[in-house]
Structure 1
Amino acid sequence: MAQQLIVVTGASTGMGASAARELARRGFHVLAGVRRDPDAFRAPGIEPVLLDITEPGQVAALAARVADDPRELHAVVNNAGIQVNAPVEALPMAEWRRVFEVNLFGHIAVTQALLPALLRSRGRVVNISSVGGKAAMPTYGAYAGAKFALEAVSDSLRREVEPLGVRVVVVEPGGVRTEMAARGVATANRLATGMTPEQDARYGRLVQAINSLMSSGTESGLTADAAARVIAKAVMARKPRTRYTIGRDAALITRLTRVLPDRALDRVIAAGVRRHYPAATA
């Protein structure tokens, strides 16, 4: 494994940073993608690389770095992502496009750039999706939409390249204790200030409830290090499953989406959100 490379995108903090450390500990040389130099961290087996997955020049530089290395590329872990929550009606189109650029198109760009190396090494693509790629909560339209799309792209890619020796794996985390949820709440609150009075009357309490639910789910979730061990399993398993969940909440919700009709799932989700609604004001 010391002679094999792994690329991890979004490795500044959270699951990405933990996955980079875990994979380096297991003997890989990890190219850890960070968006800014101050976010770079160095440790044995970890080499930070400047990588904004929405910047074609930086993606091309990553591909060149891999091509110039005599070691094989074992896997790319597409982990970079942002969380943006707002009602469908109230989310500006620029934000919709930004979410899809980061959470979907950037992953496709990195995968396209590194597929020649993965085909040579018979490596694998590990796409970090979300339980939101299976069940779309209220205000999660953009985030879940990109994750649903990533799930579909992963299925299509798997059926294209597994006959050529490249494995494609999806990892679906539930609540994980990282900075992402806190940033998501801050973004949701910022976007809520841009709602019209009519939209605020319709959705204001819902946004507050989702923020509370998001925070509580994160606080009770797994650590980033525990999530990293699941990612490492997806990277290293000799015969990996097509999908891995992280956390009991993700395992439960993905099962429910397979067995419940839409209306029943609507009621389950509504009941979970209802417990977090703020008290109505006079």
Structure 2
Amino acid sequence: MGPLPGQKTVLITGCTPGGIGHALCLEFHAKGLHVIATARNVSVLAGLAELGMSAVALDVTDAESIKTCHAEVAKITGGSLDILVNNAGRTHTHPATDIDMDDVRQTFETNVFGVMAMCAAFADQLIAAKGLIINIASLAAVTPYAFGSVYCASKGAVVSYSRTLRLELKPFGVRVMVTMAGTVQSQIASKTHRTLPENSIYQRVRDVFERRLVFSQNNGTMKTEDFARTLVAKALKGESPAFLRAWFGRPDWLWAGGFSSMVWLGTIIGEWILDAVLYRKIGLDKLERVLKEEQRKKLK
């Protein structure tokens, strides 16, 4: 089933049940848009298809998959796309001194290169509709999220990319909105996590690292449906002058999710406050005490 005459369309990446993408599908659908839900395994989208949404297979790290998806979406929409939501992402929690570069490359393939590839591939359809691109970034892009250096770097890249993309597409009437997502309920706690190597300098505080693996699900976490409701409401607002967008109309930047207000304020006050809060919140102050005790014993 395709969109009705005059019905706006939205393509969302990474729509597996239990995640942000799935919640966004339900919320956009409830607001009257025709949703094109995507996932690597299209069978997981059966429930969304039953509600009248289009379900399309998509792997954002595969050029042929993106090409095929682009062709299918063109058939569904008639060649124009009102909203593209780049939600598909990959978590990456590991100390910077323990990373595996092949693993790092896979994270960047999904979190950064996948976003770039989707924007480039669907630019024609978005220009035809004078549409909107929503890139899901993270507070990690602007915070020292300990043990998340790779993830932070990937989301920081998305933020910088989006800033430039906004200016490049402005002449064509396409808007770019960046969502600075805080802690939001997801399936992260149920996934297989990375482990510390036996020779890791952080084995001393292995418990701190293990708590960090599920930090986003246990600290100020916003319900997925509430996050989706906030994002969709902002995305569907009317246009306003650029200098008023932070308060009225569709914003260029949306700060939502657990800790989003605190981090936003921290970016204004100074980086030192984010360093101080996260250093203790994550538990690195415990490592500092352990190292001091080791040094004290050596000096005896």
Please state if 1:147 is matched with 2:155.
Answer: yes
In structure 2, how many angstroms separate the alpha carbons of the residues matched to 1:80 and 1:268? 29
TM superposition shift of 1:162: 1.6
Please state if 1:213 is matched with 2:221.
Answer: no
TM superposition shift of 1:277: 5.9
Q: Note closer, same or farther for the CA distance 1:207–1:150 as it changes in structure 2 (3 Å cut).
A: same
Tell me the equivalent position of 2:236.
236
Q: Name the SS for the 1:80 alignment partner.
A: coil
Contact 2:137 2:179 in 1 (8 A): yes
Greater length-normalized contact order (CA 8 Å, ≥ 6 residues apart): 1
Tell me the equivalent position of 1:56.
63
Task: Output aligned runs, 1:28-177, within 5 Å.
Answer: 28-41=33-46, 42-68=49-75, 69-70=77-78, 72-177=80-185
Which runs of 5 or more residues in structure 1 are unaligned? none
Q: Note closer, same or farther for the CA distance 1:202–1:160 as it changes in structure 2 (3 Å cut).
A: farther
Q: Note closer, same or farther for the CA distance 1:74–1:212 as it changes in structure 2 (3 Å cut).
A: closer
- Percent pairwise identity: 24
Tell me the equivalent position of 2:193.
187
Residue by residue over 1:20-78, the C-alpha shift from the partner in whole angstroms, topping out at 9 and shown as x without a partner, is 11111211111101111331232333111111100111100111122233273110000
Tell me the equivalent position of 1:273.
282
Q: Name the SS for the 1:12 alignment partner.
A: coil
Query: What RMSD over aligned residues (CA atoms) do the two structures have, in Å?
Result: 2.4
Letter of the structure 1 residue corresponding to residue 74 of structure 2: A
Which runs of 5 or more residues in structure 2 are unaligned? 240-249, 295-300
Equivalent of 1:204, from 203, 206, 211? 206
Q: Name the SS for the 2:83 alignment partner.
A: strand
TM superposition shift of 1:202: 5.7
Letter of the structure 1 residue corresponding to residue 90 of structure 2: I
Q: Note closer, same or farther for the CA distance 1:46–1:6 as it changes in structure 2 (3 Å cut).
A: same
Q: TM-score scaled by structure 1?
A: 0.88
Q: Name the SS for the 1:187 alignment partner.
A: coil
Equivalent of 2:266, from 256, 259, 264? 256
In structure 1, how many angstroms separate the alpha carbons of the residues matched to 2:52 and 2:33? 7
Contact 2:193 2:213 in 1 (8 A): no
Equivalenced residue count is 272
Q: Note closer, same or farther for the CA distance 1:229–1:276 as it changes in structure 2 (3 Å cut).
A: farther
